[in-house]
Chain A
Amino acid sequence: MLLDVDHLDVHYGRAKALHDINLWVGEGELVCLVGRNGAGKTTLLKTIGGFLKPSKGSILFRETKIDGWPPEKVALKGIRYVFQDKRVFGELTVRDHIELAAFPTEEKIDRAIERLIGIHPKMEKLLNSKAKGLSGGERQILLIGRALIGNPQLLLIDEPTEGLAAIIISEIAHILSEMKSKISMIVVEQNLSIVASLADRIYVLKEGAIFREIADKALIKQPTLYESDL
């Protein structure tokens, strides 16, 4: 098992945001988190990523306890976070983004650039463009490509298709499916047709708790059967 979240509670001040979360991710598995706004999906990702400290429970990554670690330590351990808001460093070029991500992982910059171009060849032309000029889709591809630098073992991707045009959504879905067997992922996604096409397992979150786990492949392919759980 790659990641094991055990009886996790998280508070925002005095308000309890996550209740007794139990979740696991296997090697090369793509796990989707679904649920309504405010269900706790992003809070869970942020806690695994080191942005929030749990008030109870533990997070084991390759059998190492990582709960309470700062984000930079979690990142260097091999867990990368792709945020929901697709915010890039606007004043930096695409190449600068790659260089910035490559340095702490000690990956060679040329190799890191190859990795980005490998998931989306059109990025080669944009290497010297400032990131603030990129479209929403290009930003998302840059952020996913940047997260792959340094051979991480787990990606936490928060709503990768939110606010994107349909054609870009299918491109992002294609990129994620290509990555699927090479790296483990936890993907928060509202678009159930994408969830159905990508997920190996699904956790449905409701009011800060795991309401249901769906592991049956046939069931996953039919989102109408679990749509009512959201």
Chain B
Amino acid sequence: MLKKFEKHDMLILAVIAVGFLIFGLSTTLSKITDFIIFCIFVLGFDLYYGHMGRLSFGHMLYLGAGAYGAGLSAKYLSPDPFMAIAFGLLGGALVGAILGPLLIRTSGACFALLNLAFNEVGYFLVLVPLAGITGGEDGISLNFSSYGFVNFSNLKFLFPFSLSVLLLVAFLMLKFVHSSYGILLKAIKENEVRVQFLGYNTYIFKWITFVFSTAISGLAGALTVINYGYANPSFIDPTRNVEVIFAALMGGAGNVFGAVLGGTAFMTISNYLARYIIRWEMFLGIVLLIIAFRFRKGIWGYLREI
């Protein structure tokens, strides 16, 4: 099933690793770790958007499910960080698996808005009915165990760990999209009905892909909680969905490297431009307009062509 994994993809992964290491030397480790975790989230989002052609306006729900899955496990079960990561990943996957059968039957605006609706419900649940365990608006502060040098509170460990996770996720996604399964995703994106006439039950494949996408988002949520040392409603805030959409579009949807590039570009703009331009969001809007009219394949798509 797995094949066609090209050598130059490995080279680009190495360049990404070196790039983040150099970036890490020139800025705070906390910030660059944040960049890396956001890139993992963009990868998860883009699996269903870029590779399957379904735009979700509610992927913060799955990031939030991972964040609260990790946070609640650390708070109420065990402060073990690996267990928190596992619960985060499972949290994202579980919410995706439960909502998937309903969501994947829709497409276009309906899919986008249903995701947003569920994100709003999740946000409300965290804020009000479940405030007793989630800490409501204040969230919950967390401490994680350390095992010798494996200390997630120390950024000198968390930064290379997050970078390794990003590279691993990117590597697995490259394997995935170059496999027969990846061909199937491309075909479903182009014309789902025709794929059904080839003998495929496309719902099952869409569901599996959706769960992968939400699980990766959940993993990003768990790492976010570990990086910040708390879980609060901003990690599930539906208004922040625009960030991941912008990042995927900027980098070039439907490409693993485009997602990483877009995630980094978005975080760079939102973190550094804000120092010089008060309404930096306006600049982001202009960038998006330029991409929409001139560079539809995003930065990575453009780089590949030159």
Contact = CB atoms under 8 A, between A and B. Distances in A.
B186 A91 contact: yes
B194 A101 contact: no
Contacts of B187: 89, 92, 96, 100
A83 B194 contact: yes
Instruction: State the majority secondary structure of interface residues on B.
Output: helix
Contact of B197 (A71, A99, A150): A71
B183 interface: yes
Contacts of A51: 193, 197
Nearest to B202: A72
Given A51-B193, A99-B180, A92 B199 contact: no
A75 interface: yes
A83 B196 CA distance: 13
Contacts of A103: 180, 184
Contacts of B196: 70-72, 75
A7 interface: no
Interface in A140-186: 146, 150
B174 to A, nearest CB: 17
B281 interface: no
Contacts of B198: 72, 75, 100-101, 104, 146
Interface in A23-51: 49, 51
Instruction: Identify the interface centre among B180, B186, B196: most chain A CB within 10 Å of its CB.
Output: B196
A91 B186 CA distance: 8
A72 B183 contact: no
Interface of B: 180, 183-184, 186-187, 190-191, 193-202
A80 interface: yes
Contact of B193 (A71, A76, A100, A146): A71
A129 interface: no
Interface string A88-110: 01111000100111011100000
Nearest to B183: A96
B256 to A, nearest CB: 16
Contact of A72 (B186, B190, B191, B200): B200
Given A72-B200, A76-B199, A104-B198, A91 B190 contact: yes
Contact of B184 (A81, A90, A100, A150): A100
B151 to A, nearest CB: 46
B199 A105 contact: yes
Given A70-B201, A75-B199, A96-B183, 15 more contacts: A70-B196, A72-B200, A72-B201, A76-B199, A89-B191, A89-B194, A92-B190, A96-B187, A99-B183, A100-B180, A100-B183, A100-B184, A104-B199, A104-B200, A146-B198
B179 to A, nearest CB: 10
